[in-house]
Amino acid sequence: MNLNTIHYLNVFLGMGAILLQIVSVGALGMLFFGNKKHAFLEYIDKHFLILGFSISLFATAFSLVYSEAIGYAPCHLCWLQRIFIYPLVLMFGVALWDKDKKVLRYALPLIAVGTAISIYHNLRYYFGENGLTPCDSSGVSCYQQLVSEFNNYISIPMLALTGFFALITLCLVVHFRQKHIAK
């Protein structure tokens, strides 16, 4: 890929990530501080499976685009996050096929561990020692700024965190709405 194409891909993904962050924070705000019967929360609850499948599919696809099509070698923290996001495509896909909202029980541990790794990766990336030294013996640095859009706000670690954060938000909305409806 040429540099312009990569730049436009980064801007497109960055704008999508920022939009997904705003929607996720808004949903959490409505869930915990607003009316749980809000139409937006009902929409998320109703379409939870397709949203979870879509988010995990896009996260998986674009991580593969960056590593396989563009040629950015993932660091070991990126690999760990991939371990927890890739199975979610299959889990949400099967749950979508069967219309099984109980996937939440199986997906949440993967999402939670992936989110924890992603938070650590972002803390290390944005607040670490910012050297080009490798993080491990693979020779790939966790600090490489391969994607740096919107004044360095959007990076590969931030894109990953956004995906996990959106999935956590979906899980929270479904879980707390089910509790609210059961009352």
pLDDT, tens digit, 9 for 90 and up, residues 147-180: 777 888 888 899 999 999 999 999 999 998 876 5
The answer on pLDDT for 134 being more than 70 is no
Those residues whose C-beta lies under 8 Å from the C-beta of residue 73, and which sit 6 or more positions away, are 67, 138, 140
Amino acid letter, 78: C
pLDDT at residue 143, as a whole number: 60
pLDDT at residue 34, as a whole number: 83
Q: What confidence tens digit (pLDDT) does each residue in 37-95 have?
A: 889 999 999 999 999 999 999 999 999 998 899 888 888 888 999 999 999 999 999 99
Tell me how far apart the alpha carbons of residues 104 and 133 are, in angstroms, rounded to a whole number: 39
* pTM score of the predicted model: 0.89
User: Is the separation of the CB atoms in 154 and 13 below 8 Å?
Assistant: yes
pLDDT at residue 120, as a whole number: 92
pLDDT at residue 162, as a whole number: 97
User: HSE of 10 in the Cβ direction (CA atoms, 13 Å)?
Assistant: 24
